[in-house]
Amino acid sequence: MFSNFPGLFIFLCVFLLGCTAQEAPPEEPALQDQHWEIQEGAIPAFLREGQKLKILDRLGIQTSFVEGGAEKPDAVFDPIYFSQSTREILTYKGVGVYALSPGFEKLHIGISAESLLTNDAEKLETFRTVFQAVGRAYQALGYRDYYAFVDFQKISDEKVPLFEMIPEGYQDSKTGQEVREVNIRRKLQRTLYGLFGYLPERFRKPQNPALQESFHIELLKELRQPRQRTISPGQDCFIRPAIKNQEVLDMLGFLKEKLQKAGALKVFRKKSPSQEKSHGEQLAKRPEDAEFSRAELKFDSGNCAFCRPEVIQNQKTCEKEGVVVLYNFAPYSQEKHFMVIPRAHIPNIQDVSKEMWEHFHKLALAATQGLSEKTPQGHVIWFVQNGVSAGQTVPHTHLHVLIRPNPLVFAYRLVQHLDGNRESLESIDRVNNQYRGLFQKYLSKMENIP
């Protein structure tokens, strides 16, 4: 009765394989043959108001907005923290310095930041001393720049938020080769980590014990006898490189992922694929390091946006003691992204003095408290991109203070940035009018504290 079993077994295997093949999702059409159908109800209201992404047209991607869907902020909003251990390097007058592992870089450092939410002048000066000493220790080890941020919601093993510092711009002392360029792909990944805690395992790096020990020695030297920051020729004068093909694809892929996760996007094949070779087809076939566009701009002290009176006038929310709060004209968070800058032209945060730091902090804290009052459920993040390889694109130091963005809005903003989209002056005025009184209120409270 089992004589036909082998044949029956083979038949079942072929049948099941056939069913599996039929159930596999169809291959997505090539970039230039895609049609993106976006459900209006599933995206934030301000994105529905005719903000078409011109970059999609350039790539040959058709788009249409259809009714239906509902916003799912919870599906895209939560930070994605992963387990990081902290190892104490030293404590200086109550401020701890820790090595984070795994991290974004081998010398990924965290400084205890609870003092930043107070107005204690002595504690703030201690924090500034340690923060700038870490920057000089990085420089002594060959790192010219750093990206630094604090996510006040993210509590470390030390039970306090940490101001995390990631070194960039390594210069090999043996070869003299220096890495000083804005790598958009790296900047995107670094920003995703800072804003959302998102760091895929392949990007996580363990601490290097030998390098950590060298850092410890240099940091002790800086705390005992601070050295003056050395500036190499052209260090505070740099050129932003062109955007590469793969960087554009990364941004589009990030936007598509967030739209699909929010239930807002369906991708179809165009009914009438273009017969002409679109930029999208060319992009798909060219090397990933080829240039997508050239928009090289030279940034130096003679061409500094934050030194132009019209920029300050158009974007200023409030000002105190030579420090200004500006609304960001390309915000990550809609109506919730500000920058704190000194009036004086100071390219590097390492050069901010004790007195300037106090005023700088007061404005940042007032903006934090105002944002928290306006958006009680939001979480405030501060970040600074110190140096060109850390992502700085204006040679005038500035601290970003913002509410953690909805990742879908952030992804949309990234792609809009490729189009050169900026907030209108009317929109900037409206936002500043909403927050000016709030920021001033908290500044006044600080002034009245004995």
With beta carbons less than 8 A apart as the criterion, state whether 382 and 165 touch: no
With beta carbons less than 8 A apart as the criterion, state whether 190 and 167 touch: no
Confidence (pLDDT) at 413: 82
Biggest CA-to-CA distance, the chain: 97
Q: Which helix (H) or strand (E) holds 266?
A: strand 265-269
Confidence (pLDDT) at 20: 46
Q: Which domains does the chain have, with CATH numbers?
A: 28-70+246-293 (no CATH), 80-230 (3.30.428), 303-450 (3.30.428.10)
Q: Which helix (H) or strand (E) holds 443?
A: helix 425-447
With beta carbons less than 8 A apart as the criterion, state whether 407 and 76 touch: yes
Confidence (pLDDT) at 447: 80
Confidence (pLDDT) at 348: 92
Low-confidence ranges of the chain (pLDDT < 50): 1-2, 5, 8-17, 20-22, 50, 74-76, 233-234, 295, 450
Q: Give the C-alpha distances (Å, rounded to integers) separating 292 from 191, 199, 277.
A: 21, 26, 15
Exposed (0-12), middle (13-18) or buried (19+): which is 272, by Cβ within 10 Å? exposed
Confidence (pLDDT) at 55: 77
Task: Write out the two tokens for 327.
Answer: 């609304």
Confidence (pLDDT) at 73: 53
Exposed (0-12), middle (13-18) or buried (19+): which is 275, by Cβ within 10 Å? exposed
Ramachandran angles phi, psi of 437, nearest 5°: -65, -40
Instruction: Give the global pTM.
Output: 0.85
Q: Give the C-alpha distances (Å, rounded to integers) separating 223 from 49, 121, 150.
A: 53, 19, 22
Confidence (pLDDT) at 77: 53
